[in-house]
Amino acid sequence: MATRIQFENCCEVGVFSKLTNAYCLVAIGGSEHFYSAFEAELTDVIPVVKTSIAGTRIIGRLCAGNKKGLLLPHTTTDQELQHLRNSLPDHVVVQRIEERLSALGNCITCNDHVALAHPDLDKDTEEMIADVLGVEVFRQTIAGNILVGSFCAFSNRGGLVHPHTSIEDLDELSTLLQVPLVAGTVNRGSEVIAAGLTVNDWTAFCGSDTTATELSVIESVFKLREAQPNAIVDDMRKSLIDSYI
Amino acid sequence: MRLEKCWFCSSTVYPGHGIQFVRNDAKIFRFCRSKCHKNFKMKRNPRKVKWTKAYRRLHGKDMTQDSTFEFERKRNRPERYDRNVAENTLRAIKTIDKIRMAREARHHAMRMKGKKTIEQKAAVKELEQSIHMVKAPLALQQEPSLTLPKIKVSVSQPLAEENRMEE
């Protein structure tokens, strides 16, 4: 189910939060509104952790993670690192990496099996990604843009990419990532997908500016509507009914 | 808050002190005071500047390899907070500091070991050769305290030699 929310009147929810299958990180805002939205959806399922990274609130763009691990930039303070380690479950590996490109959320995008990385990342960082996140890493660009982490959001079931991605690129990425991909927009035509949308295998949160059309595209590509009983009955109708009288 | 090391002299930079310079390639340089910062701007190499830790380590004046240095390394993969571990760590910090001080003192002592005897020998030689710069030779003869006392050493086998000479 996709939910529309705002962070302090800003629709770029992917900037202020990070959602994975094992945990959710949320920025510390002036009011509890943003945190409550996540809490309402996710409380007993996965831990929702309020944090800052390097004293900032733009945590979604600074860190990269999946259910197996979390990568943080070198600017993360020791106290924040310790807080994250204490709040996250033990099977999630929390690692701080020394990398020139410190906005890891813009440079790395991943699901639980595959990751796309900025072409200029260090070799050591690439190995660290493969090690900590347990994924296969591909250096790619999306629609000619090197910031792969901002222009694409994908989960284990589907992905949404920059609207100007050509069909060949889309096919290539689709085969690399092994998930169905769609080129679309979020937040009334914003091309920066990952900034406007944060998604995991069963939920998605997008900015309140997202139109109904965009929302339906998101729900269909990430397969978020399947939990509803109507869909199940539709799928199984052919096997349930023997013959029509 | 983190106590960083000055890039130039390797002393600790406490909060509220120093300057941090970020270069275009995103490398961060931290300086403890303007002295180090100005030396850096002059493009001086800390390994050649005598009062820095880098020079002292390079030239063997200070300890380079020791297991106590391993404890102060920056760690990037934290462990879950455990109260007992934290308590033990705080206690251990004190003892490790003490041990490191003792080892550094020992390193210094080893370095300065032969110094006293060398100084002693040099002093004796100087007294012998250069005493004329302090006191005139005439005065030396008259005042016995300014020269080294002549020590009488008894030598064995003088009679055997005399016998041979006579024969």
pLDDT, tens digit (0-9, with 9 covering 90-100), for B78-129: 999 999 999 999 999 999 999 999 999 999 999 999 999 999 999 999 988 8
State yes or no: pLDDT of B162 exceeds 90. Answer: no
Task: Show residues of chain A in contact with B77, CB under 8 Å.
Answer: 93-96
State yes or no: pLDDT of A228 exceeds 60. Answer: no
**Residue B107 within a domain:** no
* Alpha carbon B113 to its chain's center: 11
CA distance B74 to chain A (A): 10
Burial of A3 (0-12, 13-18, 19+ CB in 10 A): middle
Per the structure, how many domains does chain A have?
1
pLDDT for the residue numbered A188: 94
ipTM over 0.85: no
Tokens of A188: 């009334």
Task: Show residues of chain A in contact with B24, CB under 8 Å.
Answer: none
Distances (CA, A) of A91 to A132, A168, A181: 11, 38, 29
Distances (CA, A) of B143 to B133, B135, B139, B140, B149: 16, 10, 6, 5, 11
| Mean pLDDT value across chain B | 90
- pLDDT tens sequence across A64-85: 999 999 999 999 999 999 999 9
User: Does A107 contact B at CB distance below 8 Å?
Assistant: no
**Residue B99 within a domain:** no
Task: Show residues of chain B in contact with A90, CB under 8 Å.
Answer: 80
pLDDT for the residue numbered A75: 95
**Residue B139 within a domain:** no
Query: Residue B56 sits in which domain range?
Result: 4-74
Identify the CA nearest to A109 among candidates A50, A166, A156. A156
Q: Tell me if B77 and A96 make a contact (CB, 8 A cut-off).
A: yes
CATH, residue A162? 3.75.10.10
- pLDDT tens sequence across B26-51: 999 999 999 999 999 999 999 999 99
pLDDT for the residue numbered A29: 86
- pLDDT tens sequence across A20-52: 999 999 999 888 999 999 999 998 999 999 999
Quick one: average pLDDT of A93-115?
95
Q: Are strands A108-110 and A114-117 parallel, antiparallel or unpaired?
A: antiparallel
pLDDT for the residue numbered B157: 78
Assign residue A76 a region (left: φ > 0; alpha: ψ between -120 and 50; beta: otherwise).
Answer: beta
User: Does A174 contact B at CB distance below 8 Å?
Assistant: no
User: Does B51 contact A at CB distance below 8 Å?
Assistant: no
Among B2, B76, B81, select the one facing A82 at the smallest CB separation.
B81
Per the structure, how many domains does chain B have?
1
pLDDT for the residue numbered B128: 87
Residue B158 pLDDT level (bands cut at 50, 70, 90): low
Identify the CA nearest to A60 among candidates A20, A95, A28, A14. A14
**Residue B66 within a domain:** yes
Residue A69, CB-side half-sphere exposure with 13 Å CA sphere: 21
**Alpha carbons B28 and B18: distance in angstroms, whole number:** 13
Task: Show residues of chain B in contact with A121, CB under 8 Å.
Answer: none
**Residue B40 within a domain:** yes
DSSP A216: H
pLDDT for the residue numbered A153: 95
**Residue B164 within a domain:** no
- pLDDT tens sequence across A83-100: 999 999 999 999 999 999
Query: Residue A115 sits in which domain range?
Result: 2-242
**Residue B141 within a domain:** no
CATH, residue B31? 2.30.170.20
**Residue B55 within a domain:** yes
